[in-house]
Structure 1
Amino acid sequence: MYAIIDLETTGGQPTQDRITEIAIFIHDGEKIVDQYSTLLNPGRQIPFFITQLTGINDEMVRDAPRFHEVARKVVEMTEGCVFVAHNVRFDYSFLKKEFADLGYNYSRKTLCTVRLSRSLIPGQPSYSLGKLCQNIGIPLQDRHRAAGDAHATAILFDRLLKISQQDEALQAPGTSAADTLAAVDAVAPAGKKPSARKVKAVQEAIKTALLPPLITPQKVASLPQEAGVYYFHNEAGEVIYVGKSINIYKRIQQHFAVDYKSRKSLEFKNSIADITWELTGSELVALLYESHEIKRLKPLYNRAQRRSVFPAGIFLRTDENGYKHLYYGRADDHSESHPLIALGNQFKAKGFLFHKVAKFNLCQKLCDLYKTTGSCFDYQVHRCKGACVGLESPEEYNQRVEQAIESFTYEHGSFVVIGPGRTPFEQTIVVVENGRYLGFGYVDDTFSARRLDDFKEVITRYNDNKDVQQIIRQYVRTKRRGEKVKVFK
């Protein structure tokens, strides 16, 4: 049994929006045997653009039941059924969220008619419900209303079942999709039992329902269970997402198994047409290389770490009295020295420094945050110990400056992280010199070096920035099996 379902909602995010209409058509594998539809009161205002799209307004749902009033009906109708929808993860995620809010775990096997259509009716210019139905001759009335869309999906599903039974008809030269469907209808009269081929095609669709429509099970099976960086490509071959994992296969399986939280996340999944990867051996190298690739490629669906330029930073100088000054500024204004930490702009750098001044009880004047010829404001309210007017010794004050620096720089100035490589006979090398990340490389396990320059000769250079500093700082604080840190004075 199959439950073909369509929902209308107040928006595209299951975590925030609610259902305004639901329609269910029960299909027994041969025909529609039951149906149900109702408007639902979402308990909130329906946005104007949604009303323009669906025609459903606040007045129409004012006296409609709330979801909890129809939840039992939905459970009973879909019990023992496969949940079928066009872009099934979207409708399924909305229903799961509504039930979760009631304290009930709603779980069904799922089948996506987008994926099944791509498999059985290849070469269509579009697989959106409206355009697909138009191209293959399925009547679609009340578009963007739950009953109209669900009924059209039920007809589509019925025809896909018949195509899977008579798939040899698809191979006839010069046959259009409409002609093929007409031929299938002629050779598959109502009441005929599903063939083994039909059952196999549907079972395969159920098994692969979580996969993006353009990704085959064979592609997923070929993914390595090793550390590295992976790339999602669209149909044009463009990289739309870069990720990393210590087990690429498991991580990508997790990508595809999640309930989708918005239409954008569903669009992301549906646009994935290929997956490539690059093994790194080391998790640290995977983290660093992912960060580099995101900045280089700027993929559409990577939001974090896309910044490739960090024009501001925190710097350090020592005055003639021996006091260490932390101060913020533009990186290109201080080309003679590297920032202790690079930041996105001067506003962020100033805020960062204010936070460190408060946390480590530093002097605002000595951090260039309070312009005065006398004491700073914090000294007047007893938060500064008087370094600004010479009442605290440089030695005592500088200890807290060093503590602040340690909180956003590395424990050691120059060091090398040596980790596992891509094979048992290889090692990875990550080099940091004078607090600056230089890059990483690969060497065989017989490689031996005593000087930092020896390690620098075997790496590929990569840019230093705030993101990689954070990656390395967090990583080296946690001991990892098979890795070691070699410190240079």
Structure 2
Amino acid sequence: MYAILDIETTGGKYNEEGITEIAIYKYDGHEVVDQFISLINPEREIQPFVVNLTGINSNMLRNAPKFYEVAKRIVEITEDCILVAHNAQFDYRILCTEFRRLGFQYDRRSLCTVELSKDLIPDQPSYSLGKLVRSLGIPVTDRHRASGDALATVKLFKILLDKDTSKSIIQQSIRLNPKRQLEPKHLDIIDSLPSITGVYYIHKANGDIIYIGKSNNIKKRINQHFTATNQKSKKLQAQVTTVTYEATGSELVALLKESEEIKRLRPIFNRALRRSVFTHALYSFKDENDYINLKIDKADGRKNAITTFSNRQSGKSFITKAVEDYNLCQKLADLYKTKTSCFNYDIKTCEGACIQKEPSESYNKRVEALIEKNSYSNKNMVIIDKGRDIDERSAILIENGIFKGLGFFSLNYQINNKEVLESIITPMQNNRDSQHIIQNYLRKNKRLKIVELD
């Protein structure tokens, strides 16, 4: 029997969070046989970013039961069950913390659907609950609310049970106690860190940097390092004495700084990472009939790529959407192998470039528009993103298609002023990784402000 749950919290300092909402679905492997859903008055402040994320505010919780009033029901519905959650370590820790405040020792076995998904559904671009269920076609309502996320986890868990035909992985993944007691030095480090976007540096006793990473929430990411149980994390946990960080505000700035710093400092725990952050690229060529063809292929530094991707599936998803958005031919985009017309032509959504019915000139214009939008080759521009403070923005400079560097500026400055630009930009290395990071970020963040330069 499984108790599939999701918990929403107040946010705040590690082990000082309170529960604002809980949803538990008791599942027998075939259907939900019982459920418990409730808002909870945490008797503490809710962090503003959590209110924005979940929509749960203090007014909604004023008359909600306090945890001690629902504790007995939680114990009963999870009795003799394996707890299942997406990132079970977090939900289990929060439950244990609340029960410990009541003087009660709460022990359950658990399963984490993040770990299971990585084993049973490999090569997904993301294992966050929202992106994973969307990629699997699982409908989800009330995202970031306990009931909606728990129900999505129920549907995901059904798929995982079906995929684990031998039941061996799930059996091996059940943990008697997923919580890891953090050492005092780890707790002190976590307490000293902010929940901001930036690059972090993990140091050992002599000050040497042994790991560099980036995160949209540095405190949360370091906590994950300190509670992970794989061999690399255990070695890192044994050696760490200090964590320093650099705020960036912008995830793009953090990604670029992380990439350059890893190449420059080569920390021992980063060396296992792949040399490149991308494996595939989009290429174009003209066929014998003068039509521009597109092809996703393994990245090759000797060839001029339009844009790059972290894996083949990411590239395939991109080109499939591009065919739809730009009314392109499946055959000429290498999505439909045929010697005659493509499938889209048969259903009247392709103009017939596959059989030379549409003139190459008109077809190529649409392909060139796609290439222009997704390649900054020969472009002069500044990408404007978040800054470290509310009245600051970050600037990423591209000159003639080459990444020159980045900096921060006050909203009072005119960023298209060449003298201002030169004064704020810190030069950085232009390489294939930085190009991939920028192109990938531009694809995913359509509303970024871009200033074209003369």
Query: TM-score normalised to the size of structure 1?
Result: 0.44
Find the structure with the greater CA-based Rg.
1
Query: TM-score normalised to the size of structure 2?
Result: 0.46
